[in-house]
């Protein structure tokens, strides 16, 4: 994955093509910027770097809100950026003091002095710094003084699609619409977690499941229901179906994430896994008995196999 480094540990490199943003999800609307950074760095023989923040700035600037759910954890973001050809992801711990930096202080003291920059890539409508006072003109002015270039990714390059992290969050958590999320993200939604012990009820009815505990408590969990998924374990991919919900047939109350892998019988307790979601098959529902549940699970497995065969 892209080298994930926190600001205090970053090695300054004056020959760096850089851009700045939260980039949660690294969605289709972000891709033109990422592609530009990678392309320009390659042509310059420079380091490509994405500067991002943790926690999400909205959690600090608007602390009275319930808090924002994440499309990507830092580890997931670094993995996606690596897939897009980015060398380094610099993480700035976002706190109240940092939020008070002016845009000029941020560019001069953080980007130029601590990270290094030969070219600053910025989206056509991006604003940054205290009260979002920083603009393209701010960067162009400071770049002229400190001798680095500025490149503005135009609206034409970004395209006319209205893609936002909010729209993707709603598609996943409110609708369970994973095809829409995939279109907006330009890849299936992914969730990293660890396999933990459950009550082993699935094994007793011929559908053993692995309980997944997400790696981050702010990670968005898809709407309750059954999904066709693929799961990465130790670098290998397996097809399966995941149930998200409270298991009403067994009078459950606490939400669980349980995945049944097809033709799989290995012990994976304690393993780190990644789940990728392809399509929501149905709602979670309560069955009258075990036979009815098993019959439905058999139907779910056939449908999931058909869906995954296309991916």
Q: Give pLDDT, residue 199.
A: 67
Q: Give pLDDT, residue 253.
A: 66
Q: Give pLDDT, residue 112.
A: 97
Q: Give pLDDT, residue 192.
A: 95
Q: Give pLDDT, residue 173.
A: 94
- What's the pLDDT tens digit per position in 172-204? 999 999 999 999 999 999 999 999 987 666 565
Alpha-carbon distance 196 to 213, whole Å?
A: 7
Residues in CB range of 166: below 8 A, 6 or more apart = none
pLDDT beneath 70: ranges in the chain: 1, 63-66, 155-162, 199-206, 247-253
For residue 130, the tally of other CB atoms under 10 A from its CB is: 15
Residues in CB range of 267: below 8 A, 6 or more apart = none
| Maximum Cα–Cα distance across the chain | 74
CATH class of 3-158: alpha beta
Q: pTM value?
A: 0.87
Q: Give pLDDT, residue 158.
A: 52
Rg of the chain over CA atoms, in angstroms? 22
Alpha-carbon distance 167 to 187, whole Å?
A: 15
Measuring CA to CA, how many Å separate 247 from each of 17, 197, 202, 257, 287? 49, 16, 11, 10, 10
Identify how many contiguous H helices and E strands the chain contains and give both numbers.
Answer: 11, 12
Domain ranges of the chain: 3-158, 188-309
CATH class of 188-309: mainly beta
| Domain 3-158 shares a fold with domain 188-309 | no
Indicate left, alpha or beta for 77 from its phi (over 0: left) and psi (-120 to 50: alpha).
alpha
Q: Give pLDDT, residue 203.
A: 62
Of 107, 117, 102, nearest to 48 by C-alpha is 117
């Amino acid at each position: 994955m892209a080298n994930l480094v926190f600001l205090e540990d970053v090695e300054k490199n004056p020959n760096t093509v850089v851009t700045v943003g939260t980039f949660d999800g690294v969605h289709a609307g972000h891709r033109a910027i990422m592609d530009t950074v990678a392309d320009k760095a390659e042509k310059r023989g420079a380091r490509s770097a994405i500067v991002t923040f943790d926690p999400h700035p909205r959690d600090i600037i608007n602390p009275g809100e319930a808090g924002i759910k994440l499309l990507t954890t830092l580890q997931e973001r670094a993995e996606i950026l690596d897939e897009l050809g980015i060398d380094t992801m610099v993480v700035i711990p976002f706190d109240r003091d940092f939020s008070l930096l002016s845009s000029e202080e941020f560019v001069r003291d953080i980007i130029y002095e601590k990270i290094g920059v030969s070219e600053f890539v910025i989206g056509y409508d991006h604003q940054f710094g205290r009260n979002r006072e920083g603009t393209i003109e701010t960067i162009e002015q400071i770049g002229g003084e400190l001798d680095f270039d500025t490149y503005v990714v135009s609206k034409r390059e970004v395209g006319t699609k209205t893609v936002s992290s909010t729209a993707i969050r709603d598609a996943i958590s409110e609708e369970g619409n994973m095809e829409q999320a995939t279109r907006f993200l330009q890849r299936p939604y992914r969730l990293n977690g660890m396999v933990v012990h459950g009550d082993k009820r699935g094994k007793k009815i011929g559908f053993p499941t692995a309980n997944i505990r997400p790696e981050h408590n702010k990670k968005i969990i898809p709407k309750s229901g059954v999904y066709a998924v693929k799961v990465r374990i130790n670098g290998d991919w397996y097809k399966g179906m995941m149930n998200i919900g409270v298991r009403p047939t067994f009078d459950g109350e606490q939400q669980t994430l349980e995945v049944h892998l097809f033709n799989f019988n290995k012990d994976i307790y304690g393993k780190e896994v990644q789940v990728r979601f392809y399509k929501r098959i149905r709602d979670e529902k309560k069955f009258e008995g075990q036979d009815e549940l098993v019959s439905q699970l058999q139907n779910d497995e056939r449908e999931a196999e058909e869906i995954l065969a296309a991916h």
